[in-house]
Amino acid sequence: MALPWKLHGDGKDVGAREVVGPAERLTWPRTIGLGAQHVVAMFGATFLVPILTGFPPSTTLLFSGVGTLLFLLITKNRLPSYLGSSFAFIAPITVATTAQGMGSALFGIVIVGLLLALVGLLVQFTGVGWINSLMPPVVAGAIVALIGFNLGPAAWNNFQVAPVTATITLAAVILASVLFRGILGRMSILLGVIVGYIAAAISGEIDFSAVGEAAWVGLPQFAMPGNPFTDSALWAVLPAFLPVVLVLVAENVGHIRGVAQMTEEPTINTLTGRGLFADGLATVVAGMGGGSATTTYGENIGVMAATRVYSTAAYWVAGIFAILLGLSPKVGAVINTIPAGVLGGVTTALYGLIGIIGVKIWIDNRVDFALPKNQFTAAIALILGIANYTLQFGDVIFNGIALGTIAAIVVYHLMNTLARLRGTE
């Protein structure tokens, strides 16, 4: 069976203003390099979530690869996305594992995945019209932007661990993007990581002891979710998990809109239902095996924004890489030696690029910020997201992304409705 991608030009040279679309690819060596860059982009965050929640990192990595391939299949190979660990689950997982153990957290993950899949099916059958009405460009841009800017403190936390290494890494990313032509310029993120890694090794910031102890091949640690029908106490953890569905919908819709905007292919928005369903299914699969829940990754949007290569072939490579890494403790240990300074330098650029994509949605849709409803929608949502406002009601925690998303929707529609009623539009 023929592969679904057509070669972009000669597959080697890409003009400065050219875009490699989802249905295109470069030569396989270049595509493999781009796939490796996507692995690097998602790796730090995907590993960080299980480390913070006590989940096995290799298991999470394996299911992120499996989930990515499922996502590509369900979205008909038209939506370039990587499914990595969702930060929205950190708080509820912590609450659940503390109260009931890992099985209860996995139960919560599975339930959220099922609900997200149901939302995807609803969107698939009813269309995206109600989502478009719910999230007009000013709201969508604010959600995409705040997701990126909300991650800023995480970049700073890594940056300050080794500021010299982080600065070298960030400088290498910047210089590679402007000094090199063609594919090398588009792989500035990966080149920056390599340069930063070498600098970190010279500075003695890397501990290779875990690499020597790890096996070359081995299965990760699997676990099953708890059974609520034999342990009714598991139902008590659900209030902490249910709000996450809103965050995942916002992340996925924002991601899909961002990709459609970058690729200049508005038809990608019609895949919203499939995307939501695919992420929901991937989250269920991960939860059933002991991995962290998944979401479409903004880090990889940043890579696409930097490279202007949106080929889904690169994501197939990335997904396969992730699966292989999950099955190889030795290789996983090597990649896990990437120090905080390197991650801090790279994510400083990547997270900012995510935020700028939201700004680009405003610009491309000519959002009129002379209108108070648009001003307050964007202003309030961004501050809530950037400062990471947090509200807690019992065990239910709303973080900056959730609150910013809710604020963007509520503020816009409240002001818009009142303006229409008063005739002050």
143 pLDDT above the threshold of 70: yes
Who wins on pLDDT, 115 or 391? 115
Q: Which of 106-115, 202-211, 246-255 has the highest mean pLDDT?
A: 106-115
Radius of gyration of the chain, Cα coordinates, nearest whole angstrom:
21
For 89, half-sphere exposure in the C-beta direction (CA atoms, 13 angstrom radius) is 37
1 pLDDT above the threshold of 50: no
Q: 């090398």: which residue's tokens?
A: 184
**CB-count burial class (<10 Å; 0-12, 13-18, 19+) for 259:** buried
Write out the two tokens for 47.
């590993």
Who wins on pLDDT, 335 or 73? 73
pLDDT in tens, 54-78: 788 888 899 999 999 999 999 988 8
pLDDT in tens, 146-170: 877 887 887 898 899 999 999 999 9
The predicted pLDDT at position 243 comes to 65
pLDDT in tens, 175-207: 988 887 655 666 677 788 889 999 999 988 888
Section 312-337 average pLDDT: 84
Q: 């990709």: which residue's tokens?
A: 259
Taking CA atoms, 305 is separated from 5, 39, 261, 356, 357, in Å, by 20, 16, 11, 10, 8
pLDDT in tens, 88-105: 777 678 778 877 788 888
The predicted pLDDT at position 257 comes to 80
Q: What is the DSSP string of 375-422?
A: HHHHHHHHHHHHTT--EEETTEEE-HHHHHHHHHHHHHHHHHHHHHHH
pLDDT in tens, 290-319: 888 898 877 787 778 777 888 899 999 999
The predicted pLDDT at position 185 comes to 66
Who wins on pLDDT, 171 or 47? 171
In this prediction, residue 117 has a pLDDT band, given cuts at 50, 70 and 90, of: very high
E strand map for 77-124? 83-85
The predicted pLDDT at position 63 comes to 94
CA 225/CA 228 separation, integer angstroms: 9
Mean pLDDT, rounded, of the chain: 83
pTM attached to this predicted model: 0.71
349 pLDDT above the threshold of 50: yes
The predicted pLDDT at position 167 comes to 94
The one-letter amino acid code at 73 reads L
The predicted pLDDT at position 181 comes to 66
2 pLDDT above the threshold of 60: no
Is there a contact between 226 and 103 (Cβ–Cβ < 8 Å)? yes
Q: 């298991």: which residue's tokens?
A: 59
Percent of the chain residues topping a pLDDT of 70: 92
In this prediction, residue 320 has a pLDDT band, given cuts at 50, 70 and 90, of: very high
Section 277-281 average pLDDT: 95
The predicted pLDDT at position 379 comes to 95
The predicted pLDDT at position 65 comes to 93
| Least confident stretch, 3-12, 266-275, 375-384 | 3-12
Contacts of 214 (CB under 8 A, 6+ apart): 329, 330, 332, 333
**CB-count burial class (<10 Å; 0-12, 13-18, 19+) for 214:** middle
The predicted pLDDT at position 153 comes to 84
